[in-house]
Chains A and B, each alone.
Chain A
């Protein structure tokens, strides 16, 4: 088993630097420059995982991001472990510890492999068909499915790595560092354009950089040498930024692209410390050049998924780039010329290909001639019909194709092998092009979807093989010519370039290769990761699925983490063949971002923990912290919730606070309320139009409560607005509604009533608000502002005074949200904590008690005052809230007025706000609990729900607000609140529980 399949080759791999790593616990060695896949192959390890559904042994199949099988779990640290990593992409580093996924107990002995033998019972749509009934069994099925499905394991602890986001703006972004990308980057940089070149590999040059074949020459030198010089020359351009290990994730409209740069995944664990792991680039490019290349297609025949079956071009890369033989007895199976390049590369590295099976009748291209001259054996017009070997391919069987290619003829002949290279032609990587909104066209000639130049979004171009150009001369010449017009170049440094390359003329394509066995007895895999076969696709068609999108979902073809990069074209081809449709008419499935999976870390970047969202703190926040407040999040604000003393719980603290506020005095930081400064000659008219009540007659120095509706008549926000001057008001909004109210007001001002002379300025942060309430509030205020006449005559309820506290200007409003005699001091925020402390000192002798939002809510509920957003939910009119008194019926118009007498809003059986008292005064209802009348008549009719509920220490009983159908008419009615373990009896009451006559306001 443990063999060294490395040949001595130092071009790209540093064979002087040995790296040790572990795979499934086994200690192995590779070299610097290896990927995990190349290092495993050098150790003769092909079997790396099990397939998703049948748990079939699977091996490394490719050498890039299209890899469907070789996905591994990296590490086992609960924070750092990384699932679903493609072995073909991860670079080897000292100490790398990888293990197989989707197998238990081990990749060599996997219990789930039994599914393979049950596969006749697991056809396409098996899960849909089997687990849908009976519905009550779902929970049992789910357990089974979750334990047998799934790929890697997620980390169980939070990710300690650092991730970054970076914005970038450039003239030209080149995606892909193969030969066409290099030419593009140089042309752009040469023109002086600010250029970024990104490539997902650690090296530039794509597949040309290791193309040593003498058949390919540019300006008389081998194409790989020519390209190496070009790459070297890129260093001379300071306006060119090259980003290796950077994979383009998404191409959005207006040339907005996301790319993920891997910064540390190739370093040893020690070298990573303190470094950013991945950076998400958010690039806005004036022009985008897509040079994303193409990937090789597999061939579809029975048992084409065994470990040791590898794409032919990948075998070539493993030998030419990594110096790794993928086997010692290799054969190839092809429908085109490129497999012959692989054969020649292997031959030159001392591996003689046993046999090349070619479905074509012949080929007279240079490259084939060269292979034949080397004495390689070709079986023309033949196909592989089956393979053998469980954990590694052992042999394959070949038959002659019939003339039309629909059948096989003659006898099977068997060939031994330990590796079979397959080459089904090339698929341009058009994912990014389609993501950006481009439309594809089908080229019948060689069965490829390529960008339609007439349906390409502006300011982008596809060049090279992703544009369907596969011959070196076409790639280079067309890239240069197309870029000259795309970048408006009159000439280029490449003018007069001379290219020699072989020409492939012979073409043959068979999507599903024929077999001597009926399809039911074969296993021709299409999607290797999701285990869907050509059989499944045909079954889906028989069952009536027609749309490619439906077939895809039903069979799960193309739905793995590789998004069907290898499988899509064959699935389409088989559908087209079976249904007799042209592939161009069939179209493709939609390619969605990301092109390759992104980590959550890269997506969120630094926006984690305390940076996840803004935190707003009032100017008095530090005092609250010092005084042990428990905080509540209200939008982005941190508000004191309650101030526990001596180990009190919330209930105890709230009972104490609310008792103190009514018995003597309480103090609240109300700074988070929204404050909007309104000025202009039409300010009064403006308020008339946005509030339901009348404002033009409000005297200067007076305050008024206002209710704001949406145009649909539903309550939107509320608060007190004060008239500071003839043309000057200050409006308060709810804490949560501040920003929305401002933008709504701006909207009406700018779009509906531009004739009004009104200016709005938010001053929420500029002013802090300290609210002091309770029977002793007047005495406390008198100590702070001794010069101010606080008599009811001079300073009545709902009025305001300009005054000074210690030479600092402030506005004091006498308004109340608790029903107590109370004042709100508005002061510039930088003095707020100081004034708060002064209040506390002045209030000491009156037991002035700081309280938080919970007590505030309780106190206002005792008075039946609503909280918009808690007692309302956007479906209640003022009338539903029993607030008809606030509607200015004589007003010509205000926002929402017309909606108040729509047929729906005047219904009498709407849900309306009521009070609730429980039969047992100690029983506190749960907010959100449902209200019903009759629990015996089923289905039980829901009449409404509880919106606010508290135990009132001042009334010594439980109180609640609720919305109930026809609630206004139901005063005194008994209803039931059904809870999980009991039914609670309640009675509908008035919404005001405390001080119905409002005597305390002037107490």
Chain B
């Protein structure tokens, strides 16, 4: 169980958070203009890689804020946390 540095609250135990899956998948502005395949790409396709992954997290039992996290899924090392709308600080 890792410790997550909520950008609003500071370090808290992982049990206070919930993971919202892959980050930086923007909801299409005009879904009606997308083909079935394009919409399915947005709707269903998510990466699940061993290595550095960009994820959305929610401080569900805390400030209830959503934020982004860069985590290495192979060792759970958190490389960065940053607020929604901010550019990822690492590549």
Contacts and interface: CB of A to CB of B under 8 A. Distances in A.
Interface stretch (A25-33, A60-68, A897-905): A897-905
A462 to B, nearest CB: 18
A205 B84 CA distance: 53
B67 to A, nearest CB: 9
B66 A750 contact: yes
B16 interface: no
Given A253-B76, A457-B75, A751 B31 contact: no
Contact of A746 (B26, B34, B40, B66): B66
A686 B78 CA distance: 34
Nearest to B38: A898
Contacts of A897: 31-32
A446 interface: no
Interface string A553-582: 000000000000000000000000000000
Contact of A437 (B34, B36, B75): B75
Contact of B3 (A254, A754, A892, A893): A254
A752 B36 CA distance: 21
Interface residues of A, number: 23
Contacts of B32: 892-893, 897-898
A711 interface: yes
Given A754-B84, A898-B31, A747 B75 contact: no
Nearest to A893: B31
Given A252-B1, A253-B76, A893-B32, A751 B66 contact: yes
Contacts of A743: 58, 60, 64
A712 interface: yes
Contacts of B47: none
Contacts of B58: 743, 746-747
B60 A751 contact: no
A754 B1 CA distance: 30
B10 to A, nearest CB: 14
Contacts of A457: 75
Contacts of A747: 20, 58, 66
A902 B1 contact: no
A283 to B, nearest CB: 12
Contacts of B64: 743, 746
A141 interface: no
Contacts of A256: 1-2
Interface string A722-760: 000000000000000000000100110011101000000
A660 B11 CA distance: 57
Interface in B8-25: 13, 20
Contacts, number: 55
Contacts of B60: 743
A253 B2 contact: yes
Interface string A383-418: 000000000000000000000000000000000000
Interface string B64-76: 1110000000011
Nearest to B23: A751
Contact of B76 (A254, A284, A746, A751): A254
B65 to A, nearest CB: 7
Interface string A78-110: 000000000000000000000000000000000
Interface in A736-794: 743, 746-747, 750-752, 754
B89 interface: no
Contacts of B26: 752
Contacts of A254: 1-3, 76
A2 to B, nearest CB: 52
B36 A751 contact: no
Contacts of B66: 746-747, 750-751
Contacts of A437: 75-76
A751 B27 CA distance: 9
Nearest to B13: A284
Nearest to B27: A752
Contacts of B45: none
Contacts of A892: 32
A252 B3 CA distance: 11
Nearest to A905: B36
Given A252-B1, A254-B76, A750-B66, A902 B40 contact: yes
Nearest to B39: A898
Contacts of A711: 27, 43
Contacts of A252: 1
A11 B21 CA distance: 60
A903 B37 CA distance: 10
A750 B84 contact: yes
A662 to B, nearest CB: 43
Interface string A215-256: 000000000000000000000000000000000000011101
A940 B32 CA distance: 40
A903 B36 contact: yes
Nearest to A437: B75
Contacts of A902: 36, 39-40
A754 B32 CA distance: 22
Nearest to B2: A254
Interface centre among A256, A711, A751, A903 (most CB of B within 10 A): A751
A560 B65 CA distance: 45
A899 B43 contact: yes
B85 A754 contact: yes
Contact of A751 (B1, B3, B56): B56
A566 B85 CA distance: 54
Interface centre among B31, B60, B65, B75 (most CB of A within 10 A): B31
A471 to B, nearest CB: 33
Contacts of B85: 754
A19 to B, nearest CB: 41
Interface string B34-52: 1010011001000000000
A256 B60 CA distance: 21
Contacts of B40: 902
Interface string A710-724: 011000000000000
Nearest to B20: A747
Interface in A871-910: 892-893, 897-899, 902-903
Nearest to A752: B27
B65 A898 contact: no
A750 B83 CA distance: 10
Interface centre among B2, B26, B40, B66 (most CB of A within 10 A): B66
Contacts of A899: 39, 43
B90 to A, nearest CB: 18
Contact of B34 (A253, A712, A752, A898): A898
Contacts of A712: 43
A879 B28 CA distance: 23
Nearest to A892: B32
B85 to A, nearest CB: 6
Nearest to A255: B3
Contacts of A752: 26-27
Contacts of A903: 36
Contacts of A751: 56, 66, 84
B7 to A, nearest CB: 12
A905 to B, nearest CB: 10
A754 B58 CA distance: 15
Nearest to B74: A437
A903 B36 CA distance: 7
A285 to B, nearest CB: 12
Contacts of B31: 893, 897-898
Interface centre among A437, A712, A750 (most CB of B within 10 A): A750
For the complex of A and B, 7 pairs with smallest distance between CB atoms? A898-B31, A254-B2, A750-B66, A253-B76, A256-B1, A752-B27, A254-B3
13 contacts: A253-B75, A256-B2, A437-B76, A743-B60, A743-B64, A746-B58, A750-B66, A750-B84, A751-B66, A754-B85, A892-B32, A893-B30, A903-B36
Interface of A: 252-254, 256, 284, 437, 457, 711-712, 743, 746-747, 750-752, 754, 892-893, 897-899, 902-903
Given A746-B58, A897-B32, 9 more contacts: A252-B1, A253-B2, A254-B2, A747-B58, A750-B65, A893-B30, A898-B32, A899-B43, A902-B39
